[in-house]
């Protein structure tokens, strides 16, 4: 079995849809020797508070291996007290919030949809399967853990008492990889005040904030990154008094260009006729 390592994916937080599929595909292509059964799940996924999130899990079989019975799926969450909670079939805090995305029991896609994501869902999750195959017989296979990180809505506006300041704020779960930044017309800005998200014991989240002083009109963009991935952003277009930006006067340019052309087309033949 050849082992492939993708450093950029290990460092980055969420896997893009393409990246995830390609990864499963490559792993399957490269590792397919004899009787290999693997369960794939991404290392980190990010969800917006109150929204739904897909938690991917894919079973791969090498071409020479065949399932004898329908695999039995267990999705479990691991909390800090190391106690396991069942997501599939859903029980406890997950009851009524989890759906299997591909309901065909023979499908190898065991991804689930977790609905109405809460701060308390910020945990590690494991996809486990009870499998019975022709060569390897009955056994259990599990994926590597997926960490679910959560973020709330972003607020981005002029800082109330002082209109020369712009303030961006967001609540996120305690992942050191979360970074907040503000761009002006595509350029990085220097913050006058930023809070790196100091944990408050009673809270399941930290507050990241960033304040900059205005540098004229234009497009300001506040972005939340997890490692290298853009997670969410908010955009403000500011038209400041005194810094009105006119659009390029193309009509005027065209009109000016028409003058010599008209002169050539009309006057020159007239002058030539006279001679
Ligand atoms: C799970 O993680 C281990 C150690 O990081 C790695 O060697 C292995 O390839 C991973 N397995 C899958 C299916 O991703
Ligand atoms: C598994 O199914 C879900 C829902 O249909 C889909 O979004 C996801 O891309 C599938 N996974 C793979 C690896 O194809
Ligand atoms: C607003 O902020 C700017 C830049 O930090 C500062 O120079 C100015 O004194 C502040 N104005 C008020 C009214 O606080």
For 83-124, the pLDDT digits (tens) are: 678 889 888 889 899 999 998 988 999 999 999 999 999 999
**Span from the CA of 241 to the centroid of ligand 2 (angstroms):** 50
Q: Terminus-to-terminus CA distance in the chain, angstroms? A: 92
Specify the ligand 2 atom closest to the Cα of 113.
4
Residues with CB under 6 A from ligand 1: 38, 40, 144
Ligand nearest to the CA of 18: 2
Q: What does DSSP say about strands 206-213 and 193-195: parallel, antiparallel, or unpaired?
A: antiparallel
Q: Output the residue whose Cα is nearest ligand 1's atom 6.
A: 144
Between residues 180 and 264, the one the model is more confident about? 180
Q: Output the residue whose Cα is nearest ligand 2's atom 10.
A: 109
**What pLDDT digit, counting tens, does each position of 216-269 carry?**
889 999 999 999 999 999 999 988 764 444 556 677 777 788 887 877 888 777
Pocket of ligand 3 contains residue 163 by CB under 6 Å: no
**Span from the CA of 224 to the centroid of ligand 2 (angstroms):** 26
Q: Output the residue whose Cα is nearest ligand 3's atom 7.
A: 164
pLDDT at 181: 95
């Amino acid at each position: 079995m050849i082992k492939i390592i993708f450093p950029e994916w290990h460092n980055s937080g969420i896997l893009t849809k393409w990246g995830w599929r390609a990864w499963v595909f490559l792993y399957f292509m490269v590792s397919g020797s004899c009787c290999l059964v693997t369960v794939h799940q991404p290392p980190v996924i990010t969800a917006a508070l109150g929204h739904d999130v897909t938690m991917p899990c894919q079973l791969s079989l090498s071409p020479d291996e065949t399932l004898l019975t329908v695999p039995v799926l267990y999705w479990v969450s691991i909390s800090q007290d190391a106690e396991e909670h069942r997501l599939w079939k859903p029980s406890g805090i997950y009851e009524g919030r989890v759906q299997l995305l591909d309901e065909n029991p023979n499908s190898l896609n065991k991804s689930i949809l977790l609905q109405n994501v809460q701060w308390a869902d910020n945990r590690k999750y494991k996809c486990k399967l009870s499998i019975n195959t022709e060569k390897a017989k009955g056994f259990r296979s599990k994926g590597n853990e997926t960490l679910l990180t959560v973020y709330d809505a972003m607020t981005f506006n002029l800082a109330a008492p002082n209109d020369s300041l712009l303030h961006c704020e967001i609540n996120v779960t305690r992942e050191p990889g979360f970074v907040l930044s503000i761009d002006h017309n595509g350029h990085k800005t220097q913050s006058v005040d930023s809070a790196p998200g100091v944990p408050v014991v009673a809270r399941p989240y930290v507050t990241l904030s960033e304040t900059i002083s205005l540098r004229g009109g234009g497009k300001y963009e506040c972005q939340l990154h997890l490692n290298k991935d853009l997670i969410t952003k908010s955009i403000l277009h500011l038209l400041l008094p005194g810094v009105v930006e006119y659009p390029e006067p193309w009509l005027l340019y065209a009109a000016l260009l028409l003058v010599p052309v008209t002169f050539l087309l009309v006057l020159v033949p007239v002058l030539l006729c006279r001679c």
